Structure 1
Amino acid sequence: MSHYHYQYSLCSVPSWVIGSREFNANPTSLSVHGVRATHAHFFKQLDALSSWEERARIFQDYMEVAFHLHQWREKGNVGQLLSIKHSYLRFLRGWLFDADSVEGAVLKGWVQTRMGLPPIYHGGRINGRESKEYLSYMKDRMKGSARTNGIFNQLDLLYEFVQYEMKRRDPDTIHITLFRGVHGFYDHELLEWDKKTGKGVVRLNNLNSFTHDFERAWEFGTFVIEARVPVSKIFFDGAFLHAGILKGEEEVLVIGGVYDISRRII
């Protein structure tokens, strides 16, 4: 895409590397500058816990205290609703309902500011920064983050926790095969495509929904694409927090870029 411009990355890896096929083939770990150091005591606590249920609970408790989310709870039921409004949970739930929502724009904004990968889709294909789709995305992003207590900082810690948890569970796993149901397959930005083999190269949006379950992916589209996703590009996995949060969700949020994919049929 001629107008696609990588931006500054807040990781130790440049954005154009994070977004490349080469990175997906030989990934390294990614970390947002300063987050582990700022929350060093929290990660030390996690090291001492043997079960992931305990670690998920400690994560929830820590987020409440670190970002003062508990303060919104002190006025009964109204406070509980406010707590969600000011929480990373609101944005995850918003994404699950509609990736092109205000909450979806904020999550895409996190990827753009942290990984340096701008979105290529938000309610329509984004064709450059002057396009109405990009302006709509920026408007949604500003609206979503304006009244929320440090939402990008909350998402930093969510990402670092997910990465910690994945390495803790299975330090030898570098890639995970995931599936994505799509409508309008040819609406994707296909960089290479071989109809005979059903394999190709695609630039995915900067954040995308996948699932571990091939059968489940069919519920979300008329085509299913399969990708080998680096563990370091998994922003969120619904299975990790299902101690009372987003229970039963199997959605995996994957940081985008250029991917080798296969189109799968039943």
Structure 2
Amino acid sequence: MNEASPIGHSTNLVGLSTSYLADVAFNEAPRELHISGVREMNGPLFEMLDLAADLGEAGEAFATYLMAMFAIDVEQREAGGAGRRRYRSSWLRLIKGWGYDSNGPEGAVLKGWVESRFGLFPTWHKAALTRFSSGVWTTYVEEKMSSRFHNNSIFTQLDLLYEFCQWALARFVAPGLTHLTLYRGINGFDEHPVTRRIDRRTVVMRLNSLSSFSADREVADCFGDIVLTARVPVQKILFFNTLMASHPLKGEGEYLVVGGDYVVTTAY
């Protein structure tokens, strides 16, 4: 799990090799990605989305569909013993948890979803993940598999979120675009290992399996002394700040980006 080790395992659900997905070559010339079977199994959702006049209507349709499919709205939760409602995990709870701490249990579940669907190992969760036989890796596995979050097909919810995000980018937000220029503020390179140096400011950096970026450089500057600038393929965006009318990450203009090796420029 270092530069000489595989960046992921051989299986994923997007139909391309993991090593290619993680490589700079994919990021420079990306190909369309879909998680196997998601659109085919959820035809009614995408029929509703195609009727939407704008992103706001599409977001309402998406939220309504997931509420009905996964019973995550208040009215559909089942009452448990002593009048307590049954807890149902939802993608919104994961996004909210990520906003508080990307190294928390919610962050582990999101990184686990990337590992499952794209085949990419995380490189950091509370500390550097350098060996499978380590306490840090064990903690990551325990948190990503916690029954607290896996009682309501949470990976399937994230599959739908990814496909909706891709649909929204192509339809309303970035039609015809292959990349978005995004920024990330950091304070050091422990979490972001440099695998190759191109020039004084440009490097190839191995990003974590899922990382936060911003479309606003000034926002990124608030999160660290070093600002990374990357051209991110739209195919590697799981979530962005205007995808839904109301969500926990809206204030920071945040984008959640699937990792791998990226060419980035650094500025202090």
TM-score with structure 1 setting the length: 0.91
For residues 141 and 25 of structure 1, what CA distance do their matches in structure 2 show? 30
Which of 168, 172, 189 matches 2:193? 189
Q: Which amino acid aligns with 1:40?
A: G
1:6 alignment partner, SS class? coil
How far apart are 1:51 and its partner, in Å?
A: 1.3
Contact 2:89/2:149, CA 8 A, preserved across alignment: no
Q: Which amino acid aligns with 2:154?
A: I
Q: Which amino acid aligns with 1:72?
A: R
Judging changes above 3 Å, is the alpha-carbon distance between structure 1 residues 166 and 78 closer, same or farther for their aligned structure 2 residues?
farther
Q: Which amino acid aligns with 1:2?
A: A
Q: Which position in structure 1 is the counterpart of 2:133? A: 130
Q: Which position in structure 1 is the counterpart of 2:28? A: 25
Q: Which position in structure 1 is the counterpart of 2:176? A: 172
Contact 2:89/2:148, CA 8 A, preserved across alignment: no
1:172 alignment partner, SS class? coil
Judging changes above 3 Å, is the alpha-carbon distance between structure 1 residues 101 and 186 closer, same or farther for their aligned structure 2 residues?
closer
How far apart are 1:49 and its partner, in Å?
A: 1.2
For residues 30 and 128 of structure 1, what CA distance do their matches in structure 2 show? 29
How far apart are 1:186 and its partner, in Å?
A: 5.5
For residues 222 and 211 of structure 2, what CA distance do their matches in structure 1 show? 16
How far apart are 1:146 and its partner, in Å?
A: 5.0
Farther off after superposition, 129-138 or 141-150: 141-150
Contact 1:190/1:202, CA 8 A, preserved across alignment: yes
How far apart are 1:188 and its partner, in Å?
A: 2.3
Farther off after superposition, 145-154 or 161-170: 145-154
Q: Which position in structure 2 is the counterpart of 1:36? A: 39
Q: Which amino acid aligns with 2:247?
A: I
Contact 2:165/2:243, CA 8 A, preserved across alignment: yes
Farther off after superposition, 8-17 or 201-210: 8-17
Q: Give ranges in structure 1 of 5+ residues lacking alignment.
A: none
How far apart are 1:5 and its partner, in Å?
A: 4.3
Contact 2:184/2:229, CA 8 A, preserved across alignment: yes
For residues 147 and 182 of structure 2, what CA distance do their matches in structure 1 show? 29
Q: Which amino acid aligns with 2:141?
A: M
Map 1:66-85 → 2, pairs under 5 A? 66-70=69-73, 71-72=76-77, 79=85
Aligned residue-pair number: 259
For residues 254 and 147 of structure 2, what CA distance do their matches in structure 1 show? 22
For residues 253 and 115 of structure 1, what CA distance do their matches in structure 2 show? 14
Contact 2:180/2:231, CA 8 A, preserved across alignment: yes
For residues 50 and 107 of structure 2, what CA distance do their matches in structure 1 show? 32
CA shift digits 1:198-255 (9 cap, x unpaired)? 11101111000000000100111111100000000001102211x1222434110000
Q: Which position in structure 2 is the counterpart of 1:94? A: 97
CA shift digits 1:24-44 (9 cap, x unpaired)? 000011110000001111101
Contact 1:210/1:253, CA 8 A, preserved across alignment: yes
2:145 alignment partner, SS class? helix
For residues 24 and 146 of structure 1, what CA distance do their matches in structure 2 show? 31
Q: Which position in structure 1 is the counterpart of 2:157? A: 154
Structure in which a larger fraction of residues adopt helix = 1
Q: Share of identical aligned residues, percent?
A: 36
For residues 147 and 110 of structure 2, what CA distance do their matches in structure 1 show? 10
Q: Which position in structure 2 is the counterpart of 1:53? A: 56
How far apart are 1:171 and its partner, in Å?
A: 2.3
CA shift digits 1:142-169 (9 cap, x unpaired)? 1165543000000000000000000002
How far apart are 1:172 and its partner, in Å?
A: 0.9
Q: Which position in structure 2 is the counterpart of 1:115? A: 118
1:99 alignment partner, SS class? coil
For residues 148 and 121 of structure 2, what CA distance do their matches in structure 1 show? 17
Judging changes above 3 Å, is the alpha-carbon distance between structure 1 residues 73 and 217 closer, same or farther for their aligned structure 2 residues?
farther
User: Are 1:253 and 2:256 counterparts?
Assistant: yes
Q: Which position in structure 1 is the counterpart of 2:233? A: 230
Aligned-residue CA RMSD (Å): 1.9
TM-score with structure 2 setting the length: 0.91
Q: Which amino acid aligns with 1:234?
A: I
Which of 233, 246, 257 matches 1:244? 246
Contact 2:111/2:210, CA 8 A, preserved across alignment: yes
